[in-house]
Structure 1
């Protein structure tokens, strides 16, 4: 078997130390002949965009993970060797996806040209694919890889390693595992999660695909708090010890922590936005249901001084008449506390005030402003009251002082 030994200089590349390989793993023999990735592509800054594009396209076409990872690997190797324009990169990405699907999927699962053009339009890709261009690019890719697409990726190893990812003697948080089926289901999700992380950064291309798959399983066990993190059975199956996987696992866990922090920040931002939207909806609802009378922003005396002047002298006449009536009836009857005299004085007051009250005619509300606002409480004007709504004039409180 093969053992990975990191260089003393700290370079991410690893030296290969020969050991006899088990005869039952032909893919590990194939990965020894994989071309060396140098990260020399002039368009390496756009790599992440095209990787995400291939991921979206493969999910829309319901392709298997091995087809998606093979398409990404073909694109990486081709970009590393040639200087490609942006427009040709789109055609190259679609051609890599087609070749990978033809190699890994059944014939009925291979995307059609019309479907690919529709997906390109949905992804805002301003490129219209033609059959001629795709065929020409497919031929160029096949010639570049010597017509050999049997290239192992990490996705080809992961299912094989997942069979031994959980053992009966493993512990979860220090306790025996009660349901291996449930734990294996979570393990599979975590492993593919880390596997998808590995294609987003080209630094993982410095590791062998089988090592990335083994590191994905080990990182999943660490996140699920399964002990021990790496078992003897997994070491015998993968031919990798903990020392071989440590560097790749560390990179995966760093990405995992950053992803959790980013997801937490997004969740907080979404929560704050929801709270702000609820507050705005409540304020809008209150604005449509409340009628508020704002005294401070409206000055009726300044705007209607000419109209109010005709009401000032009748009000003063009414107040003086009321005082005279009280003076006339106060000496004997009110001091005696007679109810009949009180009623008689009230009737006389009402009779004396009735003609003057009828002479007042209010044509429009002057001192009250109806406004839709968001402030929770305002009071109506106490100087001129609500009488301007009803058409009857009410008198200020100061006029009734004895």
Structure 2
């Protein structure tokens, strides 16, 4: 979207925010009925890796994945065609969100390691045909707010002077704000990895990213009155989305800990297991007035904490689905037929799970 740089700091911030909130009410419906839904994570990763390679802004990355989700939801797309669709979504989103000199060039795209591993060569004519099909699908309207469009506005007051860390005054407000920005960005990328987050409004997902970050950073109250007034969401509204974000965080922490133990064993080192007591998520998902046990504040992000899986991937290591990878773009427009309705898939959620939340070094 053509928004002023750092619009959330300007005099029109409130007006722009209200315009985004109004626009999200008119977003296209998403049913989660694509037959290729099990491949969605792979192609979301492909978009994210390519986006990181060209240092595109989060808004472009999130818009690209959202375009892909909507397109897959409306058409029965083959695996081979999905490669072209994914990269076309990214190009279209970058043209809408980025400056012209930041938009990836065709020649550079074809030199990526992931392109050679997929045996895929993009052509100018093929991309133009695909972009035209996408634009016609969305009625030439790419003004589609995502969580990435709201997050900076919420981060402007995500950490307040009166906040407590583990029941104590914060040792460094600026350092805490830095950690908050990193965790909010992490949770924002987590929200890209599962289509279940599309059942929430983008503004709510962004607010939940801030709320989850405050829980992980042990800030209290968990949801300050100022944040409720700014976002328009009460703590109870955010809990379902926050829970799903924390489930993903729990999984990432456990996987990182497992990999660290394996590396230490391979190096012949003694693996020391922590005897610290794990806290259940239900203990963290309390009312905003909750206070944490008082203990000395800690600094630094945990060494074994990792970001979402694709952040550490290289473009050369991304492996595509099995099957031929050639894409005949001339036949895409005629082969993409709307599908009959398919029932939505259930998403199992359990309120009883635990995670260590190692957000500070010990």
- Contact persistence 2:115–2:121 (CA under 8 A): no
Corresponding position of 1:89: 82
Q: Quick one: distance in 1 between partners of 2:137 and 2:67?
A: 10
Corresponding position of 2:156: 163
Q: Quick one: distance in 2 between partners of 1:94 and 1:223?
A: 34
Matches within 5 A, 1:18-37: 25-37=18-30
Q: TM-score, normalised by structure 1?
A: 0.62
- Secondary structure of 1:275's partner? coil
Corresponding position of 2:142: 149
Corresponding position of 1:68: 61
Matches within 5 A, 1:167-316: 167-275=160-268
Give unpaired runs (5+ residues) of structure 1: 1-20, 277-402
- How many Å apart are 1:123 and its aligned residue? 6.6
Q: Quick one: distance in 2 between partners of 1:235 and 1:266?
A: 38
- How many Å apart are 1:120 and its aligned residue? 5.2
Q: Quick one: distance in 2 between partners of 1:50 and 1:69?
A: 13
Corresponding position of 1:58: 51
- Secondary structure of 1:51's partner? helix
Deviations 1:288-321 (A, max 9, x none): xxxxxxxxxxxxxxxxxxxxxxxxxxxxxxxxxx
Q: Quick one: distance in 2 between partners of 1:30 and 1:122?
A: 36
Tell me the C-alpha RMSD between the 2 structures.
Answer: 1.5
- Secondary structure of 1:102's partner? helix
- How many Å apart are 1:51 and its aligned residue? 0.6
Corresponding position of 2:35: 42
- How many Å apart are 1:74 and its aligned residue? 0.3
- How many Å apart are 1:125 and its aligned residue? 2.1
- Contact persistence 1:50–1:93 (CA under 8 A): yes
Corresponding position of 2:350: none
Q: Which consecutive segments of 4 or more residues in structure 1 shift more than 4 A?
A: 21-24, 120-123
- Contact persistence 1:120–1:127 (CA under 8 A): no
Give unpaired runs (5+ residues) of structure 2: 1-13, 270-362
Q: Quick one: distance in 2 between partners of 1:155 and 1:23?
A: 14
Higher relative contact order (CA closer than 8 Å, sequence separation 6+) = 2
Q: Quick one: distance in 2 between partners of 1:77 and 1:85?
A: 15
Task: From 101, 111, 118, give the equivalent of 2:104.
Answer: 111
Q: Quick one: distance in 2 between partners of 1:247 and 1:123?
A: 41
- Contact persistence 2:109–2:115 (CA under 8 A): no
Q: Quick one: distance in 1 between partners of 2:128 and 2:195?
A: 28
Q: Quick one: distance in 2 between partners of 1:188 and 1:24?
A: 19
Deviations 1:109-146 (A, max 9, x none): 00000111112546722211111110000000001111
- Contact persistence 1:120–1:126 (CA under 8 A): no
Deviations 1:190-243 (A, max 9, x none): 001001001101111100000000000000000000000001000000000001
Q: Quick one: distance in 1 between partners of 2:54 and 2:23?
A: 28
Give the greater-gyration-radius structure (CA): 1
Q: Quick one: distance in 1 between partners of 2:103 and 2:250?
A: 36
Shifted more, 265-274 versus 161-170: the winner is: 265-274
Corresponding position of 2:120: 127
- Contact persistence 1:215–1:249 (CA under 8 A): yes
- Contact persistence 1:154–1:213 (CA under 8 A): yes
Q: TM-score, normalised by structure 2?
A: 0.69
> Residues 234 and 121 from structure 1, CA distance in 2 versus in 1: closer, same or farther, beyond 3 angstroms?
closer
Deviations 1:359-401 (A, max 9, x none): xxxxxxxxxxxxxxxxxxxxxxxxxxxxxxxxxxxxxxxxxxx
- Secondary structure of 1:50's partner? helix
Q: Quick one: distance in 2 between partners of 1:231 and 1:36?
A: 32
Q: Quick one: distance in 2 between partners of 1:146 and 1:192?
A: 31
- Contact persistence 2:158–2:210 (CA under 8 A): yes
- Contact persistence 1:218–1:249 (CA under 8 A): yes
Deviations 1:167-193 (A, max 9, x none): 111101111123211110100000010
